[in-house]
Structure formats: structure tokens, C-alpha cells
């Protein structure tokens, strides 16, 4: 299985389009519900796509997933404001073109990301 680099992931996310993306129902449900609970979350899919196209991830974490043999799963952190990041769990399917499956999304205190980042350096 090919493991994508951080730079490749950033490039893929900055060029999201209808041909290379799949939004899981769980993702869409969580985006809507969490937007109601947290003002820092994107309020809809349009706002979410703007973040992908106009921002760069601040941290990318590979997730082990033995069930998905042809996919790489990652947690991708985007800083939204001083206090919060949004964390996007996604899977990259090694196909032509590469397919991005958005699995879930949630807010996280930015200081928690800094602690995770320190563990990996």
C-alpha cells in the first residue's frame, strides 16, 4: 500500500472537486450537529469546502486501519481560530484519480493539537 506524504495530502485537499471526493453520511451528520454546538465549526458543506481550498492543514496524523487494505486513513487538523482546530478524519483511496473519503469531523482545542504534535517530534 502506498503511503501518502503530508505534501501530497495538502495538495489533494486544496484541489477537492466533485470527481475526487466522497462525503460519508456520518460526516455530513456530524458536520451539521457539531456546527449547532460549536460556533467555530463550519456551518455547512460550502463553508467546509472553503476551509479546504483556502487553508493549509497545521498537522496530519496517520491512522492505523487494518480493515482498509487499499486506503490510508488520516486525521487532518485545520486551525480555525486561536482556541479551536477542526479535525477531519479522512481516507485516501489509491485510485486514479485518488478518492478522498471524508469520514467525520469534530472541533478540538488547539492546545490539545500542540500536545499531540509534540509527541510526534
Q: What is the pLDDT of residues 79-110, one digit of tens each?
A: 998 889 999 999 998 888 889 999 999 999 88
Question: What is the model's pLDDT at position 118?
Answer: 58
Convert the pLDDT of each residue in 54-69 to its tens digit: 999 999 998 876 565 6
For 91, phi then psi, to 5°, come to -125, 135
Q: Residue 119: which pLDDT band, with cuts at 50, 70 and 90?
A: low
Contacts of residue 104, defined as CB under 8 A and 6 or more positions apart, other chains included, come to: 24, 26, 27, 30, 88, 89
**Are the C-beta atoms of 88 and 102 separated by less than 8 Å?**
yes
Sheet holding 71-79, edge to edge: 21-23, 99-109, 84-93, 71-79, 59-63
Residue-wise pLDDT for 2-34, tens only, equals 788 999 999 999 988 888 999 999 999 999 999
Reduce the DSSP state of residue 60 to 3 states and report it: strand
- Whether the pTM exceeds 0.75: the reply is yes
Pairing of strands 99-109, 84-93: antiparallel
Amino acid at each position: 500500500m502506498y503511503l501518502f506524504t503530508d505534501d501530497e495530502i495538502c495538495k489533494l485537499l486544496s484541489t477537492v472537486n466533485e470527481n475526487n471526493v466522497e462525503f460519508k453520511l456520518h460526516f455530513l451528520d456530524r458536520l451539521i450537529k457539531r456546527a449547532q454546538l460549536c460556533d467555530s465549526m463550519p456551518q455547512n458543506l460550502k463553508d467546509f469546502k472553503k476551509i479546504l481550498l483556502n487553508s493549509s492543514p497545521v498537522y496530519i496524523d496517520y491512522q492505523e486501519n487494518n480493515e482498509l487494505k487499499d486506503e490510508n486513513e488520516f486525521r487532518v487538523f485545520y486551525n480555525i481560530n486561536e482556541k479551536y482546530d477542526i479535525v477531519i478524519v479522512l481516507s485516501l483511496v489509491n485510485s486514479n484519480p485518488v478518492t478522498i473519503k471524508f469520514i467525520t469531523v469534530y472541533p478540538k482545542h488547539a492546545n490539545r493539537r500542540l500536545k499531540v504534535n509534540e509527541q510526534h517530534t
